[in-house]
Amino acid sequence: MLFIFLIFEASSAILYTPARVAALAGPDSWFAVSLGDVFYGLLVLLVAVALGKRFPAQVFTEYLPEILGKIPGKLLAAAYALIIIHFGSLLLNEGSTFIQLTLLSLTPPVVLDTVLAVVAIYGAYLGIEVIARENGMVFPVWALMVVLLLSLAAIDLNFSNLKPVFENGLLPVLRASSFHGGWRGEVFFMLMLYPYLNQKHEALKTGLLYLGSVMILAGTVHAVIVGVFGDLVTAHMIFPFERLVRYISLGNFLERLEIVVIIFLIAAYIIKLAVVYHSAGIAVASTLGLKNYRITLIPIALMAIILSRVLYGTYLKLSNYLFHDWPIEALIVELAIPALILLIAVIRKKGGAPDAQQ
Amino acid sequence: MRSNRGFSIVSLALVALLLLNCTGCWDRREVGTLDVVTMLGFDRIVKDGKPLILMSILTLNINAMGGPGPTGSGMGVSPTSLGFVGSQEGETIQDALREMALRSPRLIYMGHVLVIVIGEGMARDGIQQLVDFCDRSKDVRYRTEMVTCQGSALEALESQPEFEALSSTETYRIIMNSASRVSKTLPANLFSVVYGLMTPGRDAAMPRMYLFLPPERGSFVRRGPAGGTITLDQQGQQGETGAKEDFNRVLGVEEARHPERKTMAMGGTAVFQGDKLVDWLNEEESMGAMFVDSQASGGSIPFAFRSPEKNASYTFQSAKTSVKPVISQDGIAFEVMIKGSGVLTEDRNAAIDLTKESDIKAAEQLVDEEAERYCQEAVTKCQSLNSDIFGFGDLIHKTDPAFWKQIRDRWRDYFPGVKVQVTARFTIENTGVTGEAIKTR
């Protein structure tokens, strides 16, 4: 479970955010993404776990009607289903854009989308356990790769690039944090995965461990990127992490390692996509009252591919959404609404009391 | 059963997809259809009153491959040139690049570019366009070395390498080794140039490349590449004017027009202000600039020990610099402290008594003075050019951000007036494998 979330962070957050974070927070990016938005992640996690404890056998979209009443509950559940599908298409687009820009510039993006989606859907079709096991295979290698690449890149680290500290006060750093919070808050998928945890009482512990490790990971990644390139140069790149790995050169023979990154980021993307599609399938199925979520997967995949092309056909559209709209949407979807639901549930005394569960 | 059937359908679909992959992807670029470029050159030219960009590439000469290579031919014997130089003009860089497709059926592949050469005219006009172009390309790497050629980049590409098969390899290796061996040309890769252009308190600098006719009469470079249009042998055999006269003609008047009979070398530094070349540093100033920027790690400093002329040399094997900005009422000052160690490698007529501690101390003092002079000269020159290639402004930004905010927009007004105090502390670790110098009696 922990590893699934780590891979979440690993794929898109490492890839797309550093440039923007560097633009906002400058040399303090590492702080913005580690200490700065851990509080936001903590809030999201607490809300998600509290809701999960109240309804340990159901996913978010299932107990919404119970809390809100049938019609508004169903409506919100449907909205969430759509949001998750949209999120899936966004991810798909992030993945294919990355491959297209760095590796296969002539391949039609829709093909890349399809290939990624098919693999991910297959994973989602087999169920959460298979995804978790695949993750169990990929994750150790992936983690080793990140540590190795970061230490190789750190050869060119210039600590003075991390200075000055808090040049413009804390405010820009917090802005960068809140921007990055959308990614950190992806821990809200806990809402959709809670019933599948086999050790539910450890959900909070796992989540905290995730936040802790991601704090270190993201902080290190950003520190190394800005430390090597400086914040101004980082800010004008699209994939600073990939650039960083391209820059690695150990004794003039250990070079051109970017393909390692590409392969493992694709692996991470596929796992993340599989989880998201799985959640989307369950959300749709529970909203429509279907018994088996699998039947929804293929329409979801098609929708995700089409949405990915229609909404984010160009990089500018993608970056506009990712950097301007998504942080706000994330705040509402990940934190505000679940917190409100929790409040209503507490007031209306719905769901099992947390104490009764333990 | 149902899920089994579903499983087989999905796996069949996946297998079919995998089969599709086997035929290659849309993006396939086979090695045989590529032009692997190892050196890029950019010039600005005017044709029919229209400003154009002349882009030159150095790639492998396909026809020479498999034929007699330069291996074993040794110096003085004309090898088959492995390199092929193509050039194409265009209104923009990409335009020139694509125009090349009208001449070459192969795709220009820039993933192996080692060196980017900028012609002097282009450099004086501004390099932002080409740096952005290379930065934007997914193939060109940040570790690609940048040089500015005194002359045109096309000629630089056409010049002959003396010690390697391709001039790109030769240039690249010279630059790679220079910081640890001579430290007389400030190396810059694409990343450091991008950094210099983008950072308010730092200007870009890169090695200066120049072309020259090898002074050695027997040099194969002087005779031009084998298969060239006017080789000496052909001219001699024609016997129209006689071999000797022809020899003189080729090497005298005509030589200027034959870049393929020249070779290239690095030396000195091209200094940019913003994205425009403003002037060159000579070799001593370049060493000074490398000291201040903490880039020098090996080289020799000749000095005069109780003598009107230089009679000893010191070879430093490591040098490290720390720069401290001092901001006071009197203005902005920088304290540059260079610490290094090395070997005393030359002692003419035993001027220095290498067994005496006091002489060694005095020698160290003289070395320090020389190094300080190089640095001061470099700083004075750059201040007169108003180009902060040392990143002094960037340093203020990092150490005193509040003060930097006040002066950031007027840094160019302040930079020529900053005081730079250079202190060098070199130590003589040993004197080679002998003690006292040979005393002729």
What is the tens place of the pLDDT at every residue in B130-174?
A: 999 999 988 898 999 999 999 889 988 988 888 888 889 999 999
Burial of A7 (C-beta count, 10 Å sphere; 0-12/13-18/19+): buried
Centre a 10 Å sphere on the Cβ of residue A304 and count the other Cβ atoms it contains.
Answer: 29
Reported as a single tens digit per residue, the pLDDT across B175-219 is 988 888 899 999 999 999 999 999 988 999 999 999 988 888 777
Domain that holds residue B329: 284-430
Within a domain: B408: yes
pLDDT mean over B1-27: 70
Partner A, chain B 146-205, Cβ-Cβ below 8 Å: 176, 191, 194-195, 198-199
Identify all chain B residues contacting A232, using CB atoms and an 8 Å cutoff. Answer: 195, 198-199
| Closest Cβ opposite residue A167 in set B17, B142, B401 | B401
Within a domain: B373: yes
- CATH number of the domain bearing residue B363: 3.30.300.210
The mean pLDDT of chain A is 80
- Tell me: do B290 and B194 sit in the same domain: no
Within a domain: B10: no
pTM of the model: 0.83
Give residue B32's identity as a one-letter amino acid code.
G
Q: Between B14 and B355, name the one with better pLDDT.
A: B355
- Write out the two tokens for A13: 């957050």
B42: three-class secondary structure by DSSP: strand
The mean pLDDT of chain B is 83
- Write out the two tokens for A89: 């298409």
- Mutation site, B143, B176, B400, interface A, largest A CB count within 10 A: B143
ipTM computed for the complex:
0.82
> What confidence score (pLDDT) does residue A3 get?
60
Residue that finishes a domain, picked among B266, B298, B330: B266
pLDDT over threshold 60, residue B313: yes
Partner B, chain A 32-71, Cβ-Cβ below 8 Å: none
- Tell me: do B262 and B290 sit in the same domain: no
- Tell me: do B260 and B358 sit in the same domain: no
- Tell me: do B260 and B317 sit in the same domain: no
Within a domain: B65: yes
- Tell me: do B260 and B304 sit in the same domain: no
pLDDT mean over B303-315: 91
- Tell me: do B206 and B294 sit in the same domain: no
Strand partners, B420: B334
Within a domain: B240: no
CB B134 within 8 A of CB B102: no
- Write out the two tokens for A289: 């009252």
Task: Name the residue of chain A whose CA is nearest to B189's CA.
Answer: A247
A53, A184, A96, A28: CA torsion to nearest 10: -170
> What confidence score (pLDDT) does residue A102 get?
83
Within chain A, which residues score under 50 in pLDDT?
354-358
| Confidence category of residue B326, pLDDT binned at 50, 70, 90 | very high
- Domain A2-357 sits in CATH at 1.20.1740.10
A142: three-class secondary structure by DSSP: helix
Bridge pairing between strands B34-36 and B312-328: unpaired
B144: three-class secondary structure by DSSP: coil
pLDDT over threshold 50, residue B122: yes
Reported as a single tens digit per residue, the pLDDT across A92-148 is 888 888 888 888 777 788 888 888 888 888 888 888 888 888 887 888 888 888 888
- Tell me: do B44 and B181 sit in the same domain: yes
Within a domain: B369: yes
What is the nearest CA distance from B404 to chain A, expressed in angstroms? 10
Percent of chain B predicted with pLDDT > 90: 43
CB contact under 8 A, B142 and A125: no
Reported as a single tens digit per residue, the pLDDT across B90-117 is 999 999 988 888 888 888 888 889 999 9
B108: three-class secondary structure by DSSP: strand
Reported as a single tens digit per residue, the pLDDT across B362-409 is 999 999 999 999 999 999 999 999 999 999 999 999 888 889 988 888
pLDDT over threshold 80, residue B250: no
- Phi, psi (degrees; rounded to nearest 5) at B43: -130, 160
- Tell me: do B345 and B210 sit in the same domain: no
> What confidence score (pLDDT) does residue B288 get?
93
- Total domains in the fold of chain B: 2
> What confidence score (pLDDT) does residue B257 get?
59
CA–CA distance, B384 with B373 (Å, rounded to integer): 16
Burial of A354 (C-beta count, 10 Å sphere; 0-12/13-18/19+): middle
B96: three-class secondary structure by DSSP: helix
> What confidence score (pLDDT) does residue B249 get?
44
pLDDT mean over B326-343: 91
- Tell me: do B43 and B146 sit in the same domain: yes
Identify all chain A residues contacting B27, using CB atoms and an 8 Å cutoff. Answer: 103-107
| Confidence category of residue B333, pLDDT binned at 50, 70, 90 | very high
> What confidence score (pLDDT) does residue A186 get?
76
CB contact under 8 A, B26 and A107: yes
- Tell me: do B209 and B324 sit in the same domain: no
| Confidence category of residue B224, pLDDT binned at 50, 70, 90 | low
What is the nearest CA distance from B27 to chain A, expressed in angstroms? 5
CB contact under 8 A, A246 and B141: yes
pLDDT over threshold 80, residue B299: yes
Q: Is B142 on the interface with A (CB under 8 A)?
A: yes
pLDDT over threshold 60, residue B353: yes
- Mutation site, A167, A241, A253, A296, interface B, largest B CB count within 10 A: A167
- Tell me: do B262 and B301 sit in the same domain: no
- Tell me: do B341 and B259 sit in the same domain: no
